[in-house]
Amino acid sequence: MDIFAVYSDHVIKALQEIFPNEPKLTPLLHRVVVEPPRDASHGDLSTNAAMVVAKPLGKNPREVAALLAKYFENNQDVASIEIAGPGFLNFSLTPEIWQNILKSVVLSGEDFGRSKTGRKTKVNIEYVSANPTGPMHVGHTRGAVFGDALASLMQFCDYDVRKEYYVNDAGGQIDILAKSAFLRYREALGQDIGEIPAGLYPGDYLVPVGKRLADEFGNTLVDKPQSEWIETVKTIVLDAMLDLIKADLAKLGIEHEIFFSEKTLHGKNGAIEQTLDWLKEKGFVYQGKLEPPKGKTPEDWEDREQILFRASNFGDDTDRALVKSDGSYTYFASDIAYHRDKYLRGFNHQIVVLGADHSGYIKRLQAALKAVSNGEASVDVRICQLVRLLRDGKPVKMSKRSGELVTLSDVVDEVGCDAVRFMLLFRRNDASLDFDFAKVKEQTKDNPVFYVQYAYARCCSVFRVAKNDVPDLDISQKALEEADYSLADSKEELELIRLVAQWPRIVEAAAKAHEPHRIAFYIHDLAAGFHKFWTKGKENSSLRFVNQDSLNVTLTRLALVEAVRQVLKSGLTILGVSAPKELS
């Protein structure tokens, strides 16, 4: 139950009854909002309805507000109603309403806040998609966590979500990978390979792959020409790299449902060819020249005719090349085919999570999908900005040359999965982020991860204490559901209930905007509200959760704690952060 949505419906219905046969009204209604007022002294709910509607109807906003106020005058749930400022209408609801909401929260359990807005709409979320040439780098972490949390969030709202990883297993970097692995194979056979030549991957994660090749093939490949071993080695090394990546992702609790191989798009009569043929038929492809970029022209600029996609017809800044000078397809060509494939699989709603260095790619991707789906499908590209790693307040240097490559695995091992995930989600994705090892590991209220987890552990602790202090009290789920909710009547309790009641609208707004960070901020707020109430109980023993003098009050308070616990749990689960019952 979302009280704000309920009242939004009430207000709209009221407007329709107050202004019957008014054709100008309908198009205005979507702008009517019912939300919590910024200042709690203004009441429980606030609506802009009168101001939205007044001018187009030629009325005075405060007059409209007065009509609305009159409409709700006799509503039993409304304790008082006020017109404020330019025409805000502020409702204060009776305590009974809030108490009923609390009861409904306890009844829904951890399903409270689940939304039906997704209506099983198919959504494809592509994230990570790191090149399969080695273990994952820290740079990939933010996008990985973001995509994963977004997927959970949308599932929570009843979207039919597919989590997908696009494996770039077709480009030139895979040849290099195979050559690098072959070198390690020779090494495993006892040959002296000396220094790893520049341009090959030097990482020792390829050593086991070399061993595996040696075990499997003995020395049968050593003297063969590259053309005879390259495909075999590619298959094996790619397989190994994907295992490495999957293991890294598993450390963060991430598991994709689909690993889509780029290679499968290539080849004769493959998806790329088909897509290009289709685009040609539509007249979206032509032979032409591109202008060099303004400003500085690249040194090796080659002024040549090439096969181009009319991306500029679909909102991109310029047309884009599809075939390289050596005759093979560009990355973009296969990407068009890939996104067309997603569309053909039924995904009209696509989300792609990319790093900041790909921001220039957004328009052409959107252009491609528009073209290829006749405008039926669209893709929301979410860019995750850079993460700056800090140790002792100083940036961590990361140079590939010196081998100081910080891997995802290193970071997770050092600070833990929960802290990594929460910190990366406790910030808008499109703003850059400092990740300070010291702060992330700190176990105080300054660290939002522990602050929220501590609140959750405290909720659980209350139940442990209740079991111990009032052993005769039945605190089963059933008993909580049947508690006397009218006892939750203090100012402090009602305040906490109001906070809990916001969960459904937070979830919906976050899902709609594709912004999981809102979940993180909300549960941080809720944790603060809970800690606050807790401390009130320290100052005033009548506000303690467990009260030996009144079992009825205790039961009601436990129901409130249970409601908070459920929401914290749901929120943490969406973010992929664990909810420990106690902290040690």
- Interaction residues for RNA, span 419-458 (CB under 7 A): 427-428, 430-434, 443-446, 450-451, 454, 457-458
Reference 234, options 169, 187, 184, 185; nearest CA is 169
Phi/psi at 472 (5° precision): -80, -15
Site for RNA in 292-311 (CB under 7 A): 293-295, 298, 300-302, 304, 306
170/372 with CB nearer RNA: 170
Is residue 122 classed as helix, strand or coil in its secondary structure?
Answer: strand
User: Which one of 114, 246, 251, 358 is in contact with RNA (CB under 7 A)?
Assistant: 358
Is residue 349 classed as helix, strand or coil in its secondary structure?
Answer: strand
Order of strands, edge to edge, in the sheet holding 320-321?
285-289, 305-309, 320-321
Contact status: 172 vs RNA (CB under 7 A): yes
Contact status: 52 vs RNA (CB under 7 A): yes
Q: Which residues contact 195 (CB under 8 A, 6 or more apart)?
A: none
Contact status: 537 vs RNA (CB under 7 A): yes
For the record, the structure tokens of 440 come out as 């992330």
Amino acid at 170: A
Site for RNA in 12-31 (CB under 7 A): 30-31
Q: Tokens 């073209």, residue?
A: 371
Q: Tokens 């500029």, residue?
A: 312
User: Which one of 250, 344, 465, 479 is in contact with RNA (CB under 7 A)?
Assistant: 465
Contact status: 556 vs RNA (CB under 7 A): no
76/541 with CB nearer RNA: 541
User: Which one of 489, 509, 542, 550 is in contact with RNA (CB under 7 A)?
Assistant: 509
Kindly report the length of the chain: 584
User: Which one of 330, 378, 409, 490 is in contact with RNA (CB under 7 A)?
Assistant: 330
- DSSP letter at 323 equals B
Site for RNA in 152-171 (CB under 7 A): 168, 170-171
Smallest distance, RNA to C-beta of residue 582, A: 3
Do residues 103 and 485 lie in contact, with contact meaning Cβ atoms separated by under 8 Å? yes
90/100 with CB nearer RNA: 90
Contact status: 477 vs RNA (CB under 7 A): no
Reference 140, options 384, 440, 307; nearest CA is 384
Site for RNA in 75-114 (CB under 7 A): 84-88, 90
Smallest distance, RNA to C-beta of residue 355, A: 8
Neighbours of 224 (CB within 10 A): 12
Smallest distance, RNA to C-beta of residue 520, A: 9
Contact status: 396 vs RNA (CB under 7 A): no
Site for RNA in 199-258 (CB under 7 A): none
Q: Which stretch binds RNA (CB under 7 A): 40-48, 96-104, 370-378, 565-573?
A: 40-48
Smallest distance, RNA to C-beta of residue 217, A: 26
For the record, the structure tokens of 434 come out as 């400092």
User: Which one of 12, 28, 51, 64 is in contact with RNA (CB under 7 A)?
Assistant: 51
Q: Which stretch binds RNA (CB under 7 A): 47-55, 141-149, 221-229, 562-570?
A: 47-55
- SS3 string, 133-188, reads CCCCEHHHHHHHHHHHHHHHHHHHCCCEEEEEEEECCCCHHHHHHHHHHHHHHHHH
Contact status: 528 vs RNA (CB under 7 A): yes
477/542 with CB nearer RNA: 542
- Interaction pattern, residues 483-502, with RNA; x per rule: CB under 7 A: --------------------
Task: Encode 189-223: b = buried (16+ Cβ within 10 Å), e = exposed.
Answer: beeeeeebeeebbebeebeebbebbbeebeeebee
Neighbours of 16 (CB within 10 A): 13
Q: Which stretch binds RNA (CB under 7 A): 180-188, 215-223, 266-274, 359-367?
A: 359-367
Q: How many residues bind RNA (CB under 7 A)?
A: 105
Contact status: 521 vs RNA (CB under 7 A): yes
Contact status: 375 vs RNA (CB under 7 A): no
- Helix/strand number for the chain, H first, E second: 20, 15
For the record, the structure tokens of 482 come out as 């049947």
| Cα gap 82→75, rounded to integer Å | 14
Contact status: 361 vs RNA (CB under 7 A): yes
User: Which one of 55, 70, 119, 467 is in contact with RNA (CB under 7 A)?
Assistant: 55
